[in-house]
Amino acid sequence: MFPEANKGFSYEDCKATADWLMAQTDVRPTVGIVCGSGLGGLADMLKDQVAFNYKDIPNFPQSTVHGHAGRLVFGTLRGRPCVCMQGRFHLYEGYPIQKITLPIRIFKLLGVETVMLTNAAGGLNQDFKVGDIMIIKDHLNMPGFSPSPGTFCVISLGTALVFILTKPSTCPSTSCPRRFGVRFPCMSDAYDRELQQLAMDVGQELGYGDFLKEGVYCVLGGPSFETIAECRMLHKLGADAVGMSTVHEVIIARHCGMKVFALSLITNQAVTDYDSEEKANHEEVLQTGKQRAEQLERLVSTMVTKIEHNNNYA
Ligand SMILES: O=P(O)(O)O[C@@H]1C[C@H](O)[C@@H](CO)O1
Ligand SMILES: Nc1nc2[nH]cnc2c(=O)[nH]1
């Protein structure tokens, strides 16, 4: 675990970071973008950039994964003020979940209304091909089958973690999530349906019909890729793609009332056959990202131009 990794995510810490950022830039983003593995080129599309290395931002974790540059970039995308995480954090990097989702709460405090997330994922749906873009319509939160996503309330008493049941106003925890939203957030509407439709429409307009799909994303803890038996099980459970991120960010974004759009680039085919010679690897993931980056960037940036302030769609 990194020094400082276990603190710096209270409401006051998030507010201090947001205030620090707002003092350094005049950009007031309404759209926040998170770039998945090898998909950081999206950030380079922003004009009039003001960029910060994560290491220079108070309370921010550091990126440790190849393909995640570790920069927070402010700017405009075809005139719309945006902020873009060029690199995200994952559970397997050793950070607590509150830390990996901290930037999403900072997005909220910066004024972001819509969050757009991208990731690299393995395809489980047999109709998917490497290079397909999957609009995420729902998720399976495997690590979340035990309480996890940073929306629960804990106070640290020595080494013990104690769940408390107090009202927000009386909660002694400085990391109380109820400063951001309700205790039991609804997830049946996690992925905004109008934004999914917008993505389909924009994709059709751009001629992406052949490789634009929709489906269910399943998050696992990583960093190992799945066994054959695991891939078979996940497919049977209803997952179309499997990855190691995004879902925790989605939960935190919905918890504090932001709209969410997310997509997966299918960077590799999950292996479901014992005779297969295929072996999942990060190099292939990054390579597929490079090949499809331009189309993915065009899809997201065109969508951004059609999202009006207050989340209406032009
Ligand atoms: O940040 P994302 O979810 O795009 O990263 C995926 C999952 C692992 O971090 C990595 C595996 O290649 O890519
Ligand atoms: N868990 C998981 N994450 C990925 N990220 C990119 N490809 C994969 C994959 O096959 N499995």
Average pLDDT, the chain: 89
CATH code of the domain covering residue 286: 3.40.50.1580
Q: Is 268 in the pocket of ligand 1 (CB under 6 A)?
A: no
Question: Which pLDDT band holds residue 214 (cuts at 50, 70, 90)?
Answer: very high
Which of 33, 39, 114, 109 lies closest to 74, judged by CA? 33
Token pair, residue 85, equals 């995480």
- Residue 175 marked in a binding site: no
Question: Which pLDDT band holds residue 4 (cuts at 50, 70, 90)?
Answer: low
Q: Is 65 in the pocket of ligand 1 (CB under 6 A)?
A: yes
Task: Check if the beta carbon of residue 54 is closer than 8 Å to that of residue 72.
Answer: yes
Residue 222: domain span:
11-146+180-311
Residue 159: the pLDDT is 30
- Residue 28 marked in a binding site: no
Question: Which pLDDT band holds residue 272 (cuts at 50, 70, 90)?
Answer: very high
Question: Which pLDDT band holds residue 169 (cuts at 50, 70, 90)?
Answer: very low
Q: How many angstroms is it from 86 CA to the middle of ligand 1? A: 13
- Report the SS3 class of residue 115: strand
Mean pLDDT value across residues 193-213? 98
Residue 152: inside a domain: no
Over 60: is that where the pLDDT of 174 sits? no
Residue 106: inside a domain: yes
Mean pLDDT value across residues 147-172? 44
List the catalytic residues. 37, 68, 90, 92-93, 120, 244-245, 268, 282
Cα 167 to Cα 46, 153, 253: the distances in Å are 42, 11, 22
Over 80: is that where the pLDDT of 107 sits? yes
Residue 5: the pLDDT is 58
pTM: 0.91
Residue 4: inside a domain: no
pLDDT tens-digit map of 303-312: 999 997 555 5
pLDDT tens-digit map of 229-264: 999 999 999 999 999 999 999 999 999 999 999 999
Question: Which pLDDT band holds residue 7 (cuts at 50, 70, 90)?
Answer: confident
Strands, E assignment, 1-102: 31-34, 47-53, 71-77, 80-86
Residue 68: the pLDDT is 82
Question: Which pLDDT band holds residue 158 (cuts at 50, 70, 90)?
Answer: very low
pLDDT tens-digit map of 17-59: 999 999 999 999 999 999 999 899 999 999 999 999 999 999 9
Over 60: is that where the pLDDT of 300 sits? yes
Residue 254: the pLDDT is 97
Q: How many angstroms is it from 229 CA to the middle of ligand 2? A: 15
How many domains are there within the chain? 1
Over 50: is that where the pLDDT of 157 sits? no
Bridge partners, residue 266, by sequence: 121
Residue 167: inside a domain: no
* Mutation choice for ligand 2 from 119, 130, 242, CB with most ligand atoms inside 8 A: 242
* Ligand 1 atom nearest to CA at 246: 3
- Atom 11 (ligand 1) nearest CA: 282
Element (H, E) at 261: strand 259-269
Q: How many angstroms is it from 220 CA to the middle of ligand 1? A: 11
Which of 294, 234, 265, 36 lies closest to 130, judged by CA? 265
* Ligand 1 atom nearest to CA at 119: 4
Over 80: is that where the pLDDT of 208 sits? yes
Over 50: is that where the pLDDT of 164 sits? no
Over 80: is that where the pLDDT of 146 sits? no
Residues whose CB is less than 8 angstroms from the CB of residue 45 and which lie 6 or more positions away in sequence, other chains included:
77, 297, 301
Residue 258: inside a domain: yes
Cα distance between residue 304 and residue 311, in whole Å: 10
Residue 261: inside a domain: yes
Residue 153: inside a domain: no
Residue 173: inside a domain: no
Q: How many angstroms is it from 121 CA to the middle of ligand 1? A: 7
Q: Is 119 in the pocket of ligand 1 (CB under 6 A)?
A: yes
Element (H, E) at 120: strand 114-123
